[in-house]
Structure 1
Amino acid sequence: MDSKQLREAIRSGTFTGSTSGAAGNKVQANLVILPKAYAFDFLLYAMRNKKAVPVIEVIEDGRAVSRFAEGSDIRTDIPKYNIYKDGVLTDTVEDISDYWQDDFVTFLIGCSFTFEQAVLDEGINIKHIEQGRNVAMYKTNIATESAGVFSGELVVSMRPFDESEVATVANVTAQFPEMHGGPVHLGDPLEIGIKDIDHPEYGESIDIGENETPVFWACGVTPQNAALNAKPSIMITHAPGHMFVTDLDNDDYRQR
């Protein structure tokens, strides 16, 4: 499926899984939707934490169409959404039409799923794609820079690679600075506050082989962690691993 067909399959409910590996060379995006009263604070939070929250589009209040996705509808075109009320996750749904408000501002945020295709193109396998799982994501002890009501620790995604592949993977992903860029940490998870690598807070656990190194990237789930502190009246995000697929090409964001 091309990107438009994939969005239509998501909208109809025939595609409901993780979008990792599903969009080929098309840019995927994390989602944050907030009432306009919180939008400036969030944009400032994103600007101060670009590694974790690289904004690629802001959709004006009340609008639901991305200019980077023909015929799209933000309310229906993501497989699963998380609904937060006053900082508490209250529901996970496949359609947010019933929650929609005219003052909603939508932020699309660069996603590491975008650079996965470039890693695959190097002939390097990515374990969670190979095993049909969602990527593993963890809360860390790395503080983000606060802005207004938003603050919290960095969330990272993890992919294990053979020791011989780590340098190539790091170099390739660094070519996508607006999609989280290169790794924030290699190796021992305890050094960034992850006490149990087998039990991620988000996504699914991935086995790490004897000769493999866990590699960690800043993750677009970070705003969901910040929401626990900010406690906005309502905040809608993608469910981890279930992204918005645009019509943009990955190479549009590649800096060689």
Structure 2
Amino acid sequence: MTNQLHIERNGPIATLVFNRAEKKNSFSLAMFKQLGQILEELEKDTSIKLLILKGVDETSFSSGADITEFLENRFSAEKAKAYNDLTLESVEKLYRFPKPTIALIKTLAIGGGLELANSCDFRFASAGSKLGITAANIGIIYNLTSTKRLVNLIGPSKAKELLYTAKLISAEEGQEIGLIDYVFPMEEVEKECLIFANKIVSKSSTANNGIKQVIQSILDGENEETLEIEQLILDSFSSKDYTEGIQAFLEKRKPNFT
């Protein structure tokens, strides 16, 4: 594993750090591939209950895909398809990661960087951060799956405005239109993100991971419980978390979910 992506662990919270500050954490094709591998490993790690994504410092969350690679890796329809398939596979793994996820944005999230953030469950941003998707500046069409996520977050009109103009908006405007969940001053945003994360991991992973799967089914167009979702819900009633939760309630104490 290269140092451009690395994991920091804090109990049940894993933080995936983008460590390419000299290029504002732009993602090379190799980094997208590595991202998918890391997510697969973290999915299997039962000690991890929540994942945070962030840049290595205050320079940037991510400025997106490394455009300097495009002439080599994305300069024909055939090469573009191979590039797009690989990158979208990793982004999809993040979007469907079975545990809660938070994007911690400092200063900048543009293009593929904002695409990664939009694939997380929550987005925290430092005040004044700049956000945008600038595909129209280089003449490419933004992919459907990520466009759908953007539309789900901010609606079709605002999504068109953001994409047509390729403009950058502030974190504050992003919060107003539903793109960003929480905005804090730079010196407070990471602390507030961790407070929020710890609230989540103090609860039942059986419940939270299941809730994420149920909401994902709704986003995927389901209007009724599938057999899989019905079984998921029923299985929760025989889980250790359910036993502990009921016992804690009866004993008037906080549950200790493991």
TM-score with structure 2 length normalisation? 0.25
Higher strand share: 1
TM-score with structure 1 length normalisation? 0.25
Bigger Rg over Cα: 2
Higher helix share: 2
- The higher relative CO (CA closer than 8 Å, separation ≥ 6) is in 1
